[in-house]
Structure 1
Amino acid sequence: MPPSIDKPVATSPIDKPVALVIGASRGIGRQVAIDLAKKGYAVVVSAKSTTPPSALKSLSPFPPDPNSSLSTITTVAHEINTLHHGCTALAIPCDTSDPTGTSLKDLIAATIKAYGHLDVLVYNSGAIWWSSVSGTPLKRYQIMQRVNADGLYAAVQFSLPYLHESTYGGRIVVVCPPIYSRFFRGKTAYAMGKTATGEGDGVVTRKGGMAITGIWPAVAIESAATAKQMKETPKHELRRDLRKATIFSDAILGILNAPAEKVNGELLLDEDFLRDSCGVTDFEKYSCVEGSRPRRIMPRKLPDLTVEEQDDEGVRYDSAAARRKGGAKL
């Protein structure tokens, strides 16, 4: 049976679109949350890392380095509420690796209780381990699957009842790569989970007004993940090949502003979408080092995964419906 959703009553419904950003304590997720708030969204900032409220006053500098462990959902929400006039943010912790999904279910319930509705879900949470199969312990692989694939599935499933009711259209944006064979080289276990998230676009493609979209950087973005690489590579050399996280948040804002039918089910690259659909021509402003030309890490042309019989689904079998009628045992 589908999971039961006990809809909580909002303490004070808010009259603006609500966006939940999961994986928003640092780097890309932090920037997305900030820019959504600047554009008029009430934002829920979620991840595992938190800071005791009593420690906020002692943070110096503030805001902390967005790619360091000092940046948490508490500091991000505080940054939005105090440094950006008229912006609204709430920090709600969540563990996307929870195998029961309870943490994500509670997150969605807390969002509704606080704001009354949910209009945008951004799933940026990700566990990273780049190595060969022989170099990836089974436990590490299982953690990545729980965070990258299972966590997304749970977040989408528990969000759908509210996204269907959204008066703003209901959007899901997933940070996931388009699928092509080269992506699996040298990081097979990680790629298995991340490309699986890209296949989630089937969940709402037939719901009018809603859309689910995958987005991935064409050029590496400065983040907590790339910060780890700086320990082995001179910082000034590495940053020449990096872009600011603002290119990613700009692309997500562009996706949310686009007609649902234009972005629904698409797996996009930030630079290409901004150029082709948003009219952006100046990408130098996104470079971390002025005057540099960061190397593109994604193919310029991606494979088309559709087939000639794309719209021919034949006779569809619904296991959930069959079970309700007593016809299925699993």
Structure 2
Amino acid sequence: MTARNEAQEPHAVSAGTDGVPPLAGRTIIMSGGSRGIGLAIALRAARDGANIALMAKTGEPHPKLEGTVHTAAEQIEAAGGRALPIVGDVRNDDDVQAAVDAAVSTFGGIDIVVNNASAIDLSKTPDVDMKRYDLMADINVRGTFMLSKFSLEALKRSVNPHILTLSPPLNLAPRWAGMHLAYTMAKYGMSLTTLGLAEELKDDGIAVNSLWPATLIDTAAIRNMPGGSRMVQAARSPRIVADAAYALLIRDARSCTGNFYTDEEVLREEGLTDLTGYSLGAPEAQLVPDIFL
């Protein structure tokens, strides 16, 4: 299936009034992005001619995961963008600073930060290995905070700066903490970063928002779970999150900050009411809602 019904194309994905695509020449720095949702967001921006600095750990092929930072860069350039592949670990201070410096020196600045890198383990507390706990805390919370922090000076020089984090609304219903406490704390730490930075940076005109899928998305993280191959049949393509992210990143930064959006919400605001083209086969009523909603 195609990702969109052209007759339902949201107005946010159109070229600007001067005919130049909104993200043409704009620079994005993204954590992760070798595959899945991050790569889909990068490819959508690349269609406009965006510059994308992609920092990910996978520099060499992984036996269980498709794609590397280099294959992602090739796809970005084939889609029309400029790519800067950076092998680095979002947990490492020097790697993150080097990635920010490389993006600025290569492309002249940073307009958009996408905090995409995330680790997941849905185990209950007795079963969580503390190394996995630390991995989630370091990648999800510390990595999001650090990449955002280290990019601030460059963002302040942008005409329409955005920070977009792939994290859920802060839903404090006990259910989610009780189901997988360690992961919930790590994802909510990302969302607290959105909440705090939006307030802290509002006078600087930097938009800070979170985006979360309304349904399961077909990613390696889902496929690698027990029963994952069956679960993705009731999921949507990563392109729905990419199109929603694109619509957010071209909005005016000063009038769009401090929000926790779902992909469905964003696309419906943009006039896209028929989302069936993103489905991987299941009827809309049978799609599996994502967690935290």
| TM-score interval (norm. to shorter) | 0.7 to 0.9
How far did residue 299 of structure 1 move?
Answer: 7.0
Distance in 2 between residues matched to 1:207 and 1:40, nearest whole Å: 29
Distance in 1 between residues matched to 2:64 and 2:251, nearest whole Å: 33
SS of alignment partner, residue 192 of structure 1: helix
1:140 aligns with 132
1:308 aligns with none
**Among 74, 80, 94, which residue is 1:102 paired with?**
94
**Among 174, 177, 180, which residue is 2:165 paired with?**
174
User: Cα 1:45–1:137, aligned 2, differ >3 Å: closer, same or farther?
Assistant: same
1:265 aligns with 2:258: yes
Q: What amino acid does structure 2 have at the position aligned with 1:280?
A: L
How far did residue 273 of structure 1 move?
Answer: 2.0
Number of matched pairs? 264
User: Cα 1:183–1:259, aligned 2, differ >3 Å: closer, same or farther?
Assistant: farther
**Among 220, 226, 232, which residue is 1:239 paired with?**
232
User: Cα 1:103–1:288, aligned 2, differ >3 Å: closer, same or farther?
Assistant: same
Superposition map of 1:201-240 within 5 A: 201=194, 202-203=196-197, 204-229=200-225, 232-233=226-227, 235=229, 237-240=230-233
1:199 aligns with 192
SS of alignment partner, residue 224 of structure 2: helix
CA contact (8 A) 1:125 1:147 kept: yes
SS of alignment partner, residue 165 of structure 2: strand
After TM superposition, where is structure 1 displaced by more than 6 Å over at least 4 residues in a row? none
User: Cα 1:68–1:24, aligned 2, differ >3 Å: closer, same or farther?
Assistant: farther
Superposition map of 1:114-133 within 5 A: 114-133=106-125
**Among 39, 42, 58, which residue is 2:51 paired with?**
42
How far did residue 291 of structure 1 move?
Answer: 4.5
User: Cα 1:68–1:28, aligned 2, differ >3 Å: closer, same or farther?
Assistant: farther
CA contact (8 A) 1:205 1:265 kept: no
User: Cα 1:132–1:243, aligned 2, differ >3 Å: closer, same or farther?
Assistant: same
TM-score of the superposed pair, with normalisation by structure 2: 0.84
More displaced, 241-250 or 261-270? Answer: 261-270
Q: Which has the higher contact order (CA 8 A, sep 6+)?
A: 2
How high is the sequence identity, in percent, across the aligned residues? 28
Superposition map of 1:10-159 within 5 A: 16-51=25-60, 69-81=65-77, 83-84=78-79, 86-98=80-92, 101-159=93-151
Q: What amino acid does structure 1 have at the position aligned with 2:274?
A: D
Q: Deviations over 1:235-281 (max 9, x none)?
A: 3x323311000000111111112232443011111112211x21110
TM-score of the superposed pair, with normalisation by structure 1: 0.75
Q: What amino acid does structure 2 have at the position aligned with 1:206?
A: K
How far did residue 119 of structure 1 move?
Answer: 0.3
CA contact (8 A) 1:51 1:75 kept: no
SS of alignment partner, residue 207 of structure 1: helix
More displaced, 36-45 or 67-76? Answer: 67-76
CA contact (8 A) 2:109 2:158 kept: yes
Distance in 2 between residues matched to 1:192 and 1:146, nearest whole Å: 12
Distance in 1 between residues matched to 2:178 and 2:239, nearest whole Å: 28
How far did residue 40 of structure 1 move?
Answer: 2.4
More displaced, 132-141 or 144-153? Answer: 132-141
1:9 aligns with none
CA RMSD of aligned residues (A): 2.1
How far did residue 296 of structure 1 move?
Answer: 2.2
Distance in 2 between residues matched to 1:137 and 1:234, nearest whole Å: 22
CA contact (8 A) 1:77 1:90 kept: yes
The answer for unaligned runs of 5 or more in structure 2 is 1-23
How far did residue 78 of structure 1 move?
Answer: 1.0
Distance in 2 between residues matched to 1:109 and 1:299, nearest whole Å: 35
The answer for unaligned runs of 5 or more in structure 1 is 1-14, 53-63, 301-330
How far did residue 49 of structure 1 move?
Answer: 0.3
Q: Write 1 or 2 for the structure with the bigger share of helix.
A: 2
Q: What amino acid does structure 1 have at the position aligned with 2:166?
A: V
1:253 aligns with 2:246: yes
Distance in 2 between residues matched to 1:109 and 1:258, nearest whole Å: 26
How far did residue 71 of structure 1 move?
Answer: 0.4
